[in-house]
Amino acid sequence: MVEKTKVTVAPSTCVDHDRERYYVEVEFPGVEKKDIELELGEQTFCVRAVREDLEYSGCYYLAHPVDVDKAEATYESGLLKITVPLKQPLRGRKIPVK
């Protein structure tokens, strides 16, 4: 019996934030929700998802610490959405551009 080798690829990922939280979107076309793993740390997150022919895998670094206990994740139509608040809201001072 010949065993198929799955190809591993990095998923298409978009990371954005405002002054209070991160918004992350990860594309997993053709993957079922039960086949997704998400690990979130204070400044990192890793995702892994498998389907019959390939595996998606990626780990990412966040520039600002987050409150892991308040993270939320939803999955619908091949798109994983993660929302997680920052530990401290970003503060800054607006500087005029001359």
Give the domain ranges of the chain.
7-85
CATH class, 7-85 region: mainly beta
Per cent of the chain over pLDDT 90 is 88
Token pair of 43, please?
A: 């400044």
Tens of pLDDT, residue by residue over 44-60, are: 999 999 999 999 999 99
Residue 26 has phi, psi (to 5 degrees) of -130, 125
| β-strand partners of 7 | 54
Neighbours of 80 (CB within 10 A): 22
pLDDT recorded at residue 5: 77
Q: In this structure, are residues 16 and 63 in contact, taking their beta carbons and an 8 Å threshold?
A: no
Is residue 3 over pLDDT 70? no
Of residues 19, 21, 26, 49, the one with CA closest to residue 37 = 49
Tens of pLDDT, residue by residue over 70-83, are: 999 999 999 999 99
Q: What is the CA angle 67-11-18, rounded to 5?
A: 35
Tens of pLDDT, residue by residue over 5-30, are: 789 999 999 999 999 999 999 999 99
